[in-house]
Amino acid sequence: MARKGEMFAGLSVAIVTPFANGKVDEAALRKLVDWHITQGTDCVVPCGTTGESPTLDHEEHDRVIAITCEQAAGKIKVMAGTGSNSTSEAVRLTKAAEKAGADGALVVGPYYNKPMAEGYYRHFAAIAEASRLPIVIYNIPGRTAKNIEADTICRIGEIPTIVAVKESTGSMDQASQIIAGSQLSVLSGDDSLTLPLLALGGSGVVSVVGNIVPADVKAMLAAWNAGHIAEAQRWHGKLFPLCRDLLSLATNPIPIKAAMQRLDRDTGDVRLPLTELPESDRVKLERTLKNYGLI
């Protein structure tokens, strides 16, 4: 069965938002997009969790997406983070991303207000009605405080322009139910679960470690797609300790920004209420990067 969101198959990277002196560092953002173009990343995802979207004001949010689209134009796809716990705000953000030239929108389930199933459906239906962009549902109950149940996702997936789900529940049962019960493409939202999800019929990943090792994540995906299962397993075995040890240090994107600083790709500090990685954890970060062979 053909899946609707195969335009986003492969490696999408949830990019960080560079800051300098408390403001979005636009030059660093352009440089970041250029780097992913040279690395062969399939799609960049601005203003997701890794991009610190909750602390971007409305003007900054629109600007980050616009700059990313401008720099990416014709070279790499853009899946813009346009979610909100306010339906009207999510509509506005999605329409702005469409105008800026995004290829799709990543829309997180409404956080904090914990809608019922009907509320989730109407929320996504309203966004789809207001924009022609392909929409990827972002289901991450660890951030939103409520899971969008699989049967609700399958129902939402009947809307023509809802094409995929970024699956960040960690539940293979939920992913299996979505794959079996819908035409949605399923993208891994957890780097350590990408290969298991591919084995279920998933199509790719929206990656955090892709901020530092995109070529390696792509190599794992390519091996799997070519039917070289043992090679894909080897790549998974190499990537897994990095994913586990890096992302367990602190809340994303604190560790990934610290890693980028250490690898001479500084994108500035995180914004409050997030705080920089403590010195004791930087020792662990150093060990993790060294064990992987990055330093």
Residue 292 CA to residue 267 CA, distance in Å, equals 21
Mean pLDDT of 72-87: 97
Instruction: Please determine, for residue 130, whether its predicted confidence score (pLDDT) is greater than 70.
Output: yes
- 5 with 136: CB under 8 angstroms? yes
Cis geometry, peptide bond prior to residue 273 (ω within 30 degrees of 0): yes
Q: Distance from CA of residue 109 to its chain's centroid?
A: 14
165 Cβ partners below 8 Å, 6+ apart? 136, 137, 138, 139, 153, 157, 178, 184, 185, 186, 187
Instruction: Please determine, for residue 251, whether its predicted confidence score (pLDDT) is greater than 90.
Output: yes
Instruction: Please determine, for residue 155, whether its predicted confidence score (pLDDT) is greater than 80.
Output: yes
Nearest to 213 by CA among 256, 248, 184: 256
Helices (H), ranges, the chain: 26-39, 58-72, 87-100, 117-130, 141-144, 150-156, 172-181, 194-200, 214-225, 229-247, 254-262, 279-292
- 197 with 188: CB under 8 angstroms? yes
Average pLDDT taken over every residue of the chain: 97
**Does any domain span residue 267?**
no
54-69 pLDDT, tens digit each: 999 999 999 999 999 9
> What is the domain count for the chain?
1
Specify whether 77 is catalytic: no
Q: Residues 166, 218, 257, 292: which is the catalytic one? A: 166
Instruction: Please determine, for residue 146, whether its predicted confidence score (pLDDT) is greater than 70.
Output: yes
> Which CATH number belongs to the domain containing residue 183 in this structure?
3.20.20.70
Residue 231 CA to residue 237 CA, distance in Å, equals 10
Nearest to 101 by CA among 68, 138, 58, 141: 68
158-217 pLDDT, tens digit each: 999 999 999 999 999 999 999 999 999 999 999 999 999 999 999 999 999 999 999 999
Mind giving me the DSSP string for 110-145?
A: PPSS---HHHHHHHHHHHHHH--S-EEEEE-HHHHS
> Percent of the chain, pLDDT > 90?
99
pLDDT at position 190:
97
**Does any domain span residue 59?**
yes
Specify whether 138 is catalytic: yes
2-47 pLDDT, tens digit each: 899 999 999 999 999 999 999 999 999 999 999 999 999 999 999 9
CA–CA–CA angle 107, 166, 54 (5° rounding): 45
**Does any domain span residue 285?**
no
Instruction: Please determine, for residue 1, whether its predicted confidence score (pLDDT) is greater than 90.
Output: no
Strand partners, 77: 43
pLDDT at position 81:
98
- 30 with 66: CB under 8 angstroms? no
**Does any domain span residue 265?**
no
Residue 133 CA to residue 74 CA, distance in Å, equals 17
Residue 273 CA to residue 142 CA, distance in Å, equals 17
**Does any domain span residue 214?**
yes
Residue 291 CA to residue 55 CA, distance in Å, equals 33
Residue 245 CA to residue 172 CA, distance in Å, equals 22
pLDDT at position 52:
97
**Does any domain span residue 277?**
no
Q: Residues 77, 120, 121, 138: which is the catalytic one? A: 138
pLDDT at position 2:
84
Q: Which domain holds residue 164?
A: 6-227
Beta strands at 19-20 and 23-24: parallel, antiparallel or unpaired: antiparallel
**Does any domain span residue 272?**
no
**Does any domain span residue 106?**
yes
